[in-house]
Amino acid sequence: MIHLKNVHKRFRRPEGGWFDAVRDTTLHIKAGEIFGLIGFSGAGKSTLLRLINLLERPDHGSVNVDGRDLTGLSAAELRRARQNIGMVFQQFNLMANRTVAANIAFPLEIAGWSRADIDQRVAECLDIVGLADRAGHYPSQLSGGQKQRVGIARALAPRPHVILADEPTSALDPKTTQSILDCLQDINARFGVTVVIVTHEMHVIRSICHRAALLDAGEVVELLQVTDKQVAARSALAKSLLEVA
């Protein structure tokens, strides 16, 4: 479903020179997987995630999602391709002046859906994330967990094949974290959506991921398999992350 081939991303340092955030990385994520990107702060997890929908454009390498090489698309083609790739953010990124329903409707309005289709799809998505009774509320009237459910519903609304989640539970308490992970797992199981999730917590990997890539200094240093909520780890780095989990 997602094929990153030799992708490389460097940023200019404020003090001058360059910093390689992702180094010549190759990664294949299968359709229907929940795939984790784990590592310590600064390892390059968010940059790698943002390379998948070209929020960051690689300096070199190719990004293929659902059979399309995104790096070769025009701006208009890329906008359309991104409707197939929903994104969920750590800080929710909801629009404060829009109701819950209007936040979820937003990507559908951009994509030119009819009002009737939008209303129907928003109702479906509210139902999927368990917020049918909050349609008319504003983000400020919601708990953190509810805000993230709105973020997930908004990502799901255009019926994407892929959802990218950047530390979706880092701003939440442990109980709410589990309910959001359950929500993502439910969406993966019911609709077959491929989920890529960035985290620095091994319990997130153990809880919902099928596989994960361990990143260090911009490189994938180990591919982790998860079976029966156990993570098989070889490297000392992975073991140290398991210890703090």
Ligand X SMILES: Nc1ncnc2c1ncn2[C@@H]1O[C@H](COP(=O)(O)OP(=O)(O)OP(=O)(O)O)[C@@H](O)[C@H]1O
Q: Which residues bind ligand X (CB under 6 A)?
A: 11, 19, 21, 39, 41-47, 200
Nearer to ligand X, 47 or 103 (CB): 47
Beta strand 2-12 with 60-65 is: antiparallel
Token pair for 80: 């359309």
CB of 179 to ligand X, least distance (A): 22
In whole angstroms, the minimum distance from the beta carbon of 34 to ligand X comes to: 18
> Minimum Å distance from CB 203 to ligand X?
16
Q: Tell the smallest beta-carbon distance from residue 94 to ligand X (Å).
A: 20
The one-letter code for the residue type at 80 is R
Do 163 and 89 contact (CB within 8 A), yes or no?
Answer: no
Q: Which is nearer to ligand X, 61 or 130 (CB)?
A: 61
Residue among 108 and 167 whose Cβ is closer to ligand X? 167
Measured distance between the N- and C-terminal CA atoms of the chain, rounded to whole angstroms: 29
To ligand X, the closest distance from the beta carbon of 178 in angstroms equals 20
Q: Residue 3: how many CB atoms within 10 A of its CB?
A: 16
- Residue 178: phi and psi, rounded to 5, are -65, -40
Nearer to ligand X, 84 or 90 (CB): 90
Q: Which is nearer to ligand X, 42 or 61 (CB)?
A: 42
Nearer to ligand X, 104 or 220 (CB): 220
Least Å distance, CB 18 to ligand X, is 10
**Contact present, 180 and 152 (Cβ < 8 Å):** yes
